[in-house]
Amino acid sequence: MYVGVDRMVQFPLLIAPKASYSVAEAELFVHDYDKTLNYGKVDNLVTNDEYATAPSHPTSKKVGSLYGDTGSLTDTNLAEMNDANQWKYVYADSIYTKKTLYEATEQTFAETPSTYTGKTEDYPEVSFIPATGLVKYEDGLAGSGHHWGYGTCEWIRHCYTAGQPNTNSQPEFAGSRCERGNPDGTVTKGFCFEADNGNLECGRMLETTDKYNVVTWQANTLQRCPRGAPATSVGSVVSKRLLVGGCMIPADANYTATAEVHVPQMCYLPKDFHKGCMFPGATNYDPAAVQPAACHYLTQGCTDSTAVNYNREAGIDDGSCIATVLGCTVKSGTTSYTDVATDTPAYQTRHYGSALRTVGKVILPAYAAVLNYNPSANVNVHCIVAVEGCMDPDAVNYHPLANVNSNTWCIPKVEGCMMPSFNQASLNFHGAGAKTHYKDGGSANYLASATVNTGCLIERYGCMDSLAYNYDAHATVPTTCYQNQGGCFDNAASNFNCTKWGVDNAGGAGFTFFTTPCTDAFPSATVHYESLCYYGTGDDIDRIQTTGSGTLKVAIVLEGQVEDFGSAPLTDFTAKMEETLELQGSGGFSTATGGSVTVTYTCENLDGGAYAKAAGHVASKLNSLSKISGALGVTALSLPTVTASNAGDDDSTGAIIGGVVGGLGGCIMIGGLLFWMKSRKSGKVEA
């Protein structure tokens, strides 16, 4: 139903629901404007009704004026006013609210108070839009239906349009105030309107009647002629017109006396008023209704409310009812692609992700979509979606929501480390430049069949012997170990790379010094001890061997008190010391002194071979506290101090078998020193 505003509003406006455009919808109505473009060209058309062929943008295309018979401003001098008054023109895409419309037409308007407690949600806001565009003459369309009235329009003169000369040099628009001087000196006033031939004419309304020709208004105020009236020359004509919308409640502050259709939103307090079906021919037509409501017509169709095709508007049952059958209507069968065209994008590319190593995405297009498809159903309800997956709660990939296990889904739980070792890693891990060294790898306990990761031991190659010189406390994969072995690393010595001065020949044939560097045939040395280097010719040892008067003393600080080391403990200590130094039966003895408990083992009258061998054993077998404690059955608190002497010396000096304790990551390096003799006098070296 087309409904217009009061004819005292000089430009014809239609009452419509207020537009509420989304961003997407706004693109259909809002266009960027470029003043350099000719919008009349095909390449520059915009999707706005007739505006697509207009030479200007809808926002700047003037189609009417809201200046009326009141006020001092007219269209002829409006162009000289500042921009604040330009909004009183009507543009092709103008939209007015109640407030802006009444303000533009200089009419009193009472705005609905914010404290209003009525059901405003039942009355969506309305707006007022220009009666222009493709819908050329709404009056004529209304006249072909049931909602119209008649109006008598008197022609006054032709209105000036753009390009036509006039005394004011200003074009007129629909709604512009116009007038004509009469011979008797009077002036006839009116408004420009769009006649049925599309021309702009000046006229005024003399009388309005309803569609039954009952007079509803006679000239007592100036009103515009209906849009599309055939008044183009001297005289008056009767034409159809739109009904006037407004508030029809007499007691309301915004009551519109000329209103013929009640619009609750135009009232100060929105309320219904004589609401009913206003279309003759409807089964519920109400001739007294002035506010539109739903209409019902004699319609054939299914009148059974339980049928799937029930037509609530039908009044005559035509036997077309289809009984409702509830059920799942999603076709499935054995595949989720039933009735799907083969050229559909991604056809039969359904897949699942396997939990097995190196498997990943697996294409499986055949599994079903639902479990309870009913081919007889015509109302879709209660479909059970097929969820493929492992239904074994003990499997590693158990799916608690799965209800179909049509494939080999389940993967047994195998606990183990799932991070590969260095040698089992991918080529990208092994690639050139991927690692700066290969001491650290992946995991040391990788299990290829594992499906549940239970913890990995990080792979680190290194010596795992805690007594070795190159022991790595963080190593998890064993590699070559180098034992803590003293030796001579001075290449100026006669026994370079050797772990002792020489060898004690079997059968008591004497002691032979090394005169060339040792080879791999001997134990590899790892720690340099200066006392193990031999630089002379062997005269000193020869003298000891000739006289049989060499004396070796080994002193060690032990845990305990002096009284703990009586005759029996000292005898046991002596026996273990001689066994360690291979001096059994040499007649050695041990003594204990106070302060800290220092137990000294003394062995006298040793020949050169026995002397050198024993001293070498001290360096190799007693070079750590743990070795001392293990060999002698005591708790050592210091490394041995070795004192060597021979008959004829004026004094005695000692060589300490030293220990160096340091560390990177907790590593311990232990070394010992042997004494060596200079000419006829003992020397002392500490480490």
Write out pLDDT tens, residues 344-385: 888 877 777 777 777 778 777 667 788 888 989 999 999 998
Q: Is the pLDDT of residue 434 over 60?
A: no
- What span, in angstroms and rounded, lies between the C-alpha atoms of 1 and 303? 29
Q: In the 8-state DSSP scheme, what is residue 255? A: B
| Interatomic CA distance for residues 138 and 122, integer angstroms | 27
Q: Please report how the helices 567-581 and 608-621 are oriented relative to each other, as an axis angle in degrees rounded to 10.
A: 100
Work out the mean pLDDT of the chain and round it to a whole number.
77
Q: What is the mean pLDDT of residues 144-149?
A: 75
Higher pLDDT, 219 or 263: 263
Give CA 394 to chain center in angstroms. 33
Give mean pLDDT, residues 614-628: 78
How many angstroms from the chain centroid is the CA of residue 273?
55
Higher pLDDT, 593 or 154: 154
In the prediction, which pLDDT does 71 show? 47
State the Cα–Cα distance between residues 352 and 385, nearest whole angstrom.
16
The residue with greater pLDDT, 420 or 522, is 420
Q: What band does 660 get if pLDDT is binned at 50, 70 and 90?
A: very low
Can you tell me the distance from the alpha carbon of 541 to that of 529, in angstroms, rounded to the nearest whole number? 19
Proportion of the chain above pLDDT 70, given as a percent: 73
pLDDT at 58: 59
Average pLDDT of span 135-145 = 56
Burial label for 683, CB within 10 Å (0-12, 13-18, 19+), is middle
- Is the predicted pLDDT of residue 291 greater than 80, yes or no? yes
Cβ proximity of 582 and 612 under 8 Å? no
Span 426-454, average pLDDT: 72
**Does residue 654 surpass a pLDDT of 60?**
no
Cα–Cα distance, 102 to 253 (Å, whole number): 14
pTM comes to: 0.47
Give per-residue pLDDT as tens, 156-182. Answer: 999 987 665 555 556 788 998 888 999
Element (H, E) at 28: helix 23-29
pLDDT confidence band for 145 (50 / 70 / 90): low
Question: Residue 668: is its pLDDT beyond 60?
Answer: no
Write down the residue that tokens 């239906």 correspond to: 145
Q: How confident is the model at residue 79 (pLDDT cuts 50, 70, 90)?
A: very low
Picking from 144-148, 149-153, 511-515, which range would have the lowest pLDDT averaged per residue? 144-148
DSSP line for 169-182: S----BT-EEEEE-
- The pLDDT value given to residue 152: 95
pLDDT tens per residue across span 32-68: 656 677 766 667 666 544 444 445 555 667 888 886 5
Single-letter code of the amino acid located at 317: D
Residue that wins the pLDDT comparison between 546 and 678: 546
